[in-house]
Every structure is written in structure tokens, then in C-alpha cells.
Amino acid sequence: MINVLYFARLKDTLGIAAEEIDPVASNGKVDITDVASLRERLCQRGERWQNALSQQRLMTAVNQEMAQADTPLADGDEVAFFPPVTGG
Amino acid sequence: MPHIHVQAEDFDTQAIISKLTAGHGEIGAIVSFTGLVRDLPGQSLQSMTLEHYPAMTEKALAEIVESAMQRWDLIDVAVVHRVGELQPSDRIVLVVTSSAHRREAFLACEYIMDYLKTRAPFWKKETTSDGEHWVDAKNSDGEATSRWE
């Protein structure tokens, strides 16, 4: 399972802080192999998810390191989606 | 050894500087930056809440500090960042850099703040009489890092 976390405004918009996603799709094949394919799977949920996850400066981390669309994902990884950070 | 802490409690800047310098006679320069919660016009900020990604914050700060220590000849660095609910004028963040001479300490302190502002997973939420709203990231923060590249 891939552990997916959402933070800040994104968490409020989507109404969820964390969930587990099975990289194996309903047809029995692994269709989540990187950040981009995970986003695609989540966007299948509908317009609210598509809008939230296509925002221009969305940031992603995989196993607590900043990641890109092509960062590979494996079973057991942790992915976090969040808006641009505003600490400091 | 860099001191990196993410915590709800307030920090004591002088105590941290003392700890950093103890036994290090080779330190000739200490630079510190403190970030405060700035009030909104008309003193309308009721509180500011810092959310964060617990598993990642100290790791991200450690990477930024490590990068600064590789780039400049620093003796030690401390970074403390608070989380949770804060009031106007409260301390949010402290960056302390130390080196033999001042140039490295000044540059590294600014570098660490520029990268903390764009890479460390914290998010500010302001509470006013209108309710709560998430602070937007500033373009100027994103641009600030490019001058180090």
C-alpha cells in the first residue's frame, strides 16, 4: 500500500488528511509506479480532485524528500501532497 | 553538530547561542535571525497557527543546514522552528550560524532562511475576526533561492 498524506489548504479542500492507496488497480495490474500515475489514479475520483491536484505549484514529497512527477513509487512508500510551503 | 528542533515551545536565543559557542574558541562570528509573527493592519491578527509535516520537517531542515555547511566554512548551526498556535509578536523561527569570520556566517544565515521559506514543510494559517485563512506563498520567496544557484 502507498500511504498518501495531504496538508494545509489541500487537506481542507479534499476533506482528508491521510489514506492508503493500493498500487494494484481493480483489474489486477500495478498502475501506480510514480507520482504522476498516483495523481492520475486520484484524479479519477472527479472534478474536485482534478482541480486540487492540478494546481500549478502543488508540491510532492516521497518518503519525506521533495519529489517530481517522475519520482518512482514502490509499495510501502509514503507520499505527501501539499501547497507551496509558508514556514519561517 | 547542527542543532535542529521543531517544537511548540518558545526558545531562548541566548541559551542556544551559549550552547553553540561553548568550548569553541575558534568561533569569531555568530549571526542570528529571528522570525516573528507579524500582526495584520489594525492589529487584526487574533492568532497564527503553524501546521507541519512532522516526519519531514527536521529532515528537510537538516538537509538545508548540511547544504549550507558544505558550501561555507561554518563551525556550527542551530535552527529552531515552532509549530502550533502563536500570537502576534511571538517568535516563530531562529537560525544561528557560527564561523571563524563573519562573511560565511552572514551568507549562510540568509541562505538557510531562503531555503527554509521554500522547502521546509510548514504552513501558516491566520485567524482574524473573518475566520481562518491559509497564507499564500510569496513569489519573492521563490525568487530568493535562485540567487544562490
- Region B37-41: mean pLDDT is 94
Q: State yes or no: pLDDT of A80 exceeds 90.
A: yes
Q: Which helix (H) or strand (E) holds A51?
A: helix A47-53
Give the pLDDT band (50/70/90) at residue B143: confident
Q: State yes or no: pLDDT of B52 exceeds 90.
A: yes
User: What's residue A14's pLDDT?
Assistant: 96
User: What's residue B111's pLDDT?
Assistant: 98
Euclidean distance between CA atoms B66 and B79, whole angstroms? 12
- Measured between its terminal Cα atoms, the distance across chain B in Å is 25
State the ipTM, two decimals: 0.93
B contacts of A7 (beta carbons < 8 Å): 51, 53, 121, 123
Query: For the ranges A64-68, B45-49, B88-92, B141-145, which has the lowest average pLDDT?
Result: B141-145
Percentage of chain A lying above the pLDDT 90 cut: 95
List, as ranges, residues 54-83 from A with C-beta within 8 Å of B. Answer: 57, 61, 64-66, 78, 80, 82-83
Give the pLDDT band (50/70/90) at residue A56: confident
Instruction: Look at strands A78-82 and A2-6 and give their pairing.
Output: parallel
User: What's residue A85's pLDDT?
Assistant: 97
- Region A61-84: mean pLDDT is 97
**Residue of chain A with shortest Cα separation from B93:** A88
Higher pLDDT, B73 or B141: B73
Q: State yes or no: pLDDT of B43 exceeds 90.
A: no
Euclidean distance between CA atoms B9 and B83, whole angstroms? 8
Q: In the numeric block, which cell numbers belong to residue B63?
A: 538537509
Q: Which helix (H) or strand (E) holds A80?
A: strand A78-82
In order, the DSSP letters of chain B are --EEEEESS---HHHHHHHHHTT-TT--EEEEEEEE-PPPGGG---EEEEEE-HHHHHHHHHHHHHHHHHHS--SEEEEEEE-EEE-TT-EEEEEEEEESSHHHHHHHHHHHHHHHHHHS-EEEEEEETTEEEEPPPPHHHHHHHHTT-
Q: State pLDDT tens for residues B83-135.
A: 999 999 999 999 999 999 999 999 999 999 999 999 999 999 999 999 999 99
- Region A1-20: mean pLDDT is 97
- Region A40-59: mean pLDDT is 94
CB of B68 closer than 8 Å to CB of B108: yes
**Residue of chain B with shortest Cα separation from A62:** B56
A18 touches chain B (CB under 8 A): no
Euclidean distance between CA atoms B110 and B91, whole angstroms? 17
Percentage of chain A lying above the pLDDT 70 cut: 100
This prediction's pTM: 0.94
User: What's residue A31's pLDDT?
Assistant: 93
User: What's residue B142's pLDDT?
Assistant: 81
